[in-house]
Homo-oligomer: A and B are copies of this chain.
Amino acid sequence: MPTGTPLPDDIITPALVLDEARMLRNIHRLAKRAEDLGVTLRPHVKTVKSVVAASRLWEGTPGPITVSTLAEAEAFHAAGYRDILYAVGIAPQKLGKVQALRAAGCDLTVILDSATQARAVAEAGVPALIEIDSDGHRGGLGPDDPALLEVGRILGAASALRGVMTHAGESYTVRGRDAHAEFAEKERAATVGAAEALRAAGLDCPVVSVGSSPTAHAARDLTGVTELRAGVYMFFDLVMAGIDVCTVDDIALSVLATVIGHQPSKGWVLIDAGWMAMSRDRGTAAQAVDQGYGLVCDAEGRVLPDLIVSSANQEHGVITRRPGATGALPDLPVGTQLRILPNHACATAAQHGRYHVLPANGGPAEIWERFGGW
């Protein structure tokens, strides 16, 4: 079912469109799961980067959040958020800014996985979570790594050890709830094991933090875990749909584009949304269904079967039928407006300075500002 009121006629395309009703549905779904699992939800606001959009997460006082940049921490602290986890390994050079935010009343926690970082953080008096590697995806210490206790002791001696955390980034590479549940259990087992090792060494480890959008939706048991993190779930995208974390109908974000030309002999429809509007993310390229630079919908958000943005230049997209699709290209004259569903909501949203919001109450479209930078 298409949702949302029409967008203004004079909107300049490409433009980022947010379907608030879908976003609210996604928010409520995960909030309910966290409640059922008995853990605190700490949403990651790196996807939305908008104080107004994030406000839809809460009824009343803002809760705990995760950020990917200190710019996000500053913006959300200025908007009244207090409990913020900066979930990128801390560079010692950033501790001055972290300390300034903490001095201003922000309970900002950092993450780290080395003794070098731990010494800098301990000296700065900043609380930290130790990053645990649960799936070989990126950073973090293995739960059995001897460095875990060394790092824990450095932090503990300065009362700077707040707990452990992990992110199963590899869960994006597998499909289906069972496969994601296995990664969720890896997250749980690795962090709970690390927390137990720290506690056995006499260290406090109150926080056990896990999460990714796939594992958060699939976890069956989070015994020993205290909090759950996820970000892209508020909007969802084709990558998440491609691994069955959501359906295409759950995707709340799209890019409004206008048809600006045709190459009939090639079966091309040219639109004014290229990679500047969609991002260069090709996250579905490795999935069972490659959606190119995005799946094409009409202006009301109804999917046009088998039409994708198959290539992109800076301000041009080329719409074609999907390889192997049968039937003719629909008639899309110059001036036709379309909405393109993105591969990766974080990347596509980052290309835009604002959302054109279709409000859940059916009222006129609203503008919600986004921010970027570091």
Contacts and interface: CB of A to CB of B under 8 A. Distances in A.
A374 B14 contact: yes
Contact of A116 (B96, B335, B337): B335
Interface string A354-374: 000000000000000000111
A374 B15 contact: yes
Given A12-B374, A114-B334, A373-B352, A91 B138 contact: no
Nearest to A270: B139
A96 B11 CA distance: 11
Interface in A277-332: 277, 279-282, 313-316, 318
B272 A88 contact: yes
Contact of A88 (B90, B315, B333, B352): B315
A68 interface: yes
Most buried by B among A10, A69, A346: A69
Q: Which of A169, A277, A280, A282 has the most CB of B within 10 A?
A: A280
B90 A316 contact: no
Interface in A96-129: 96-97, 113-114, 116-117
Interface string A8-36: 01111111000000000000000000000
Contacts of A347: 275, 280, 314
Contacts of A114: 261-262, 334
A248 interface: no
Contacts of A116: 333-335
A190 interface: no
Contacts of A259: 91
A267 interface: no
Interface in A251-271: 258-263, 270
A351 interface: yes
Nearest to A231: B314
Contacts of A334: 91-92, 114, 116-117
Contact of A280 (B96, B113, B282, B316): B282
Contact of A335 (B46, B93, B279): B93
Interface string A124-142: 0000000001000011000
A70 interface: yes
A159 to B, nearest CB: 22
A139 B281 contact: no
Contacts of A138: 263, 270, 313, 316, 318
Interface of A: 9-15, 46, 68-70, 88-94, 96-97, 113-114, 116-117, 133, 138-139, 169, 258-263, 270, 272, 275-277, 279-282, 313-316, 318, 333-335, 337, 346-347, 350-353, 372-374
